[in-house]
Amino acid sequence: MSLNAVSTRLPPWLIKKIHRNEVSLGTKEILKSLDLNTVCESARCPNMWECFSKRRATFMILGNICTRNCAFCSVKKGLPSHVKKSEPSNITEAVGRLNLKHVVITSVTRDDLKDGGASQFARTVYELKKEYSDVVVEVLTPDFRGNADCIKIVAESGPDIFNHNIETVNKLYKRVRPQADYYRSLNLLKFIKDNYPAIYTKSGLMVGLGENRDELEAALDDLITHSCDILTIGQYLSPSRTNIPVAEYVHPDEFKRLEKVAFEKGFLYVMSGPFVRSSYNADQVFNKKCDKEEV
Amino acid sequence: MVEVVVPDLGEDVEKAKISFWHYEEGDKVEKNDDVVELTTDKATFNIPAPESGIITELCVEEGEEVEVGEVIAFIDEENEELELSSEDEEEEDTNF
């Protein structure tokens, strides 16, 4: 056993085992063969191999180039690619081949498109529900610049869960999400619940960006007052040296405390932990929420 | 001989740093035991042994950068089998 650990190592609770095996490689191959993008790969998610080994993936539609410049994200920025007509049917095929029971569809932000990509979301949801009516469909959308018509297009396509991440506390928006707006994101969640009460609302927060406890709890309160049902909280990890640096590696005990606080505030379900991501184990999150509702 | 390879660690991630070897050359590893810890700009990963065997070569020093797809260690599965079979024989001997 060597004693020369390198100083750049992260705290022990942030070391992720790679699950590179026949199953995970098979998942990767299916996605590649259908020319599908995943946020798992584009965001360099540390959970990628784990999820692929469980035959899970989060589909990222509308290309892999984003029109926004969020400081926390590694998805490529620039001139986006054209919208692929085959994407909805390819996702449907992948869902069948991977035998997914819970599908998460996200996208890059497409401020260049008139509808922000809403109709591509809708086509994908329609096609999935038509082929697999029992599959739970979760959309994880951009803010559509607060355009209610675009949000309606997605909501009326029939997703079970409408997920939109506020990502961080109000104070850090200018630095972390310069082209977004804290209240616009919150209002999107409230708009969904007010107009489509049968759809579950979900949001996610990253911690370790420089927020303090009071600011975090204020964000939890804001999410509750804006009708958010389900919450995920995870550690921010800087994808590259050009992204915003990590301000703090939050201890797992603090994640547990936050989870307890959030439950007390009234969320239907909360998942909080260093490696929790917006769509990480999304099926388990949803099923546990259902169990809780039954109780 | 089985290769330990630097896996794909996400889009446009071409390099990683060897932060820690969990074993030395000559050590015996079981399949799925963590062999090496790799660090990218974003995260730290433990890479498990693809098969059980004896580590015959660690190709890179701690602190060095490696490329995705690069072979960083070799594990001798046959050596493992030989060891097991000699252990079996010893067991048989004691039975007699």
- pLDDT-derived band at A234, boundaries 50, 70, 90: very high
Mean pLDDT of A83-93: 97
Which among B11, B41, B44 is the nearest to A41, CB-wise? B11
Tell me what pLDDT residue A2 has. 39
Interface test with B, best of A15, A28, A45 (most B CBs within 10 A): A15
- CA distance linking residue A42 with residue A64, whole number of Å: 7
Residue whose tokens read 């070799």: B74
The SS3 call for residue A240 is coil
Query: Tens digit of pLDDT for each residue in A106-133?
Result: 999 999 999 999 999 999 999 999 999 9
Helix (H) or strand (E) holding A125: helix A118-131
The domains of chain B are located at 2-95
Contact yes or no for A179/A142 (Cβ under 8 A): no
Q: Is B79 near chain A, with CB under 8 Å?
A: no
The two three-digit tokens of residue B6, written as one number: 């630097």
Which of B19, B21, B46 has the CB atom closest to A17's CB atom?
B46
Asked whether the beta carbons of residue B39 and residue A8 sit closer than 8 angstroms, the reply is yes
Q: Which of B61, B59, B54 is nearest to B72 (CA)?
A: B59
Inform me whether the C-beta atom of residue B60 falls under 8 Å from chain A C-beta atoms. no
CB-defined contacts A:B, below 8 A: 93
| Contact status of B20 with chain A (Cβ, < 8 Å) | yes
Q: Tell whether B93 is within 8 A of chain A (Cβ).
A: no
User: B91 — phi, psi (to 5°)?
Assistant: -60, -45
Q: Domain segments of chain A: what residues?
A: 18-294
Provide the CATH topology of domain B2-95: OB fold (Dihydrolipoamide Acetyltransferase, E2P) (2.40.50)
**B21 has a chain A CB within 8 A of its CB:** yes
Structure tokens at A160: 């079970």
- In CATH, the number for domain A18-294 is 3.20.20.70
Over the stretch A145-158, which tens digit does the pLDDT of each residue have?
A: 999 999 999 999 99
Q: Which of A77-86, A180-189, A223-232 is least confident?
A: A77-86
Q: Report the complex ipTM.
A: 0.81
Kindly identify which residue of chain B lies nearest to residue A44, measuring between CA atoms: B10
* Per-residue pLDDT at A4: 40
Residues A110 and A217 sit within 8 Å (Cβ to Cβ): no
Interface of A with B (CB under 8 A): 1-2, 4-6, 8-10, 14-18, 20, 28, 40-46, 48-49, 64, 74, 76, 237-241
Pick A238's closest partner by Cβ from B19, B23, B41: B41
Answer whether B95 touches A (CB < 8 Å): no
Q: Give the whole-angstrom CA distance, residue A12 versus residue A10.
A: 6
Q: Measuring CA to CA, which residue among A34, A20, A107 is closest to residue A68?
A: A107
Q: Which amino acid is at A159?
A: P
Residues A183-187: contacts with CB under 8 Å, at least 24 apart: A184/A143, A184/A145, A184/A146, A185/A143, A186/A222, A186/A223, A186/A226, A187/A146, A187/A226
> Mean pLDDT for chain A?
93
Question: Does residue B13 sit at the A interface (CB-CB below 8 Å)?
Answer: yes
Mean pLDDT score, A177-201: 97
- Least CA distance to A42: which residue of chain B? B11
Our separate counts of H helices and E strands in chain A read: 11, 11
Q: Does B31 touch chain A (CB under 8 A)?
A: no
Q: Give the DSSP letter string of B17-57.
A: EEEEESS-TT-EE-TT-EEEEEE-SS-EEEEEPSS-EEEEE
Q: How far, in Å, CA of B44 to CA of B75, rounded? A: 22
pLDDT at A74: 87
pLDDT value of position A52: 96
**% residues pLDDT > 90 (chain A):** 84
* Sequential pLDDT tens for chain B (96 residues): 999 999 999 888 999 999 999 999 999 999 999 999 999 988 999 999 999 999 999 999 999 999 999 999 999 987 665 555 555 554 544 444
A283's CB contacts (< 8 A; 6+ apart) are A56, A101, A102, A136
Reported as a single tens digit per residue, the pLDDT across A206-229 is 999 999 999 999 999 999 999 999
Q: Is the pLDDT of residue A194 over 80?
A: yes
pLDDT at A6: 40
The mean per-residue pLDDT over the stretch A50-64 comes to 95
Closest CA to A207 of A129, A262, A155: A262
3-class DSSP state for residue A262? helix
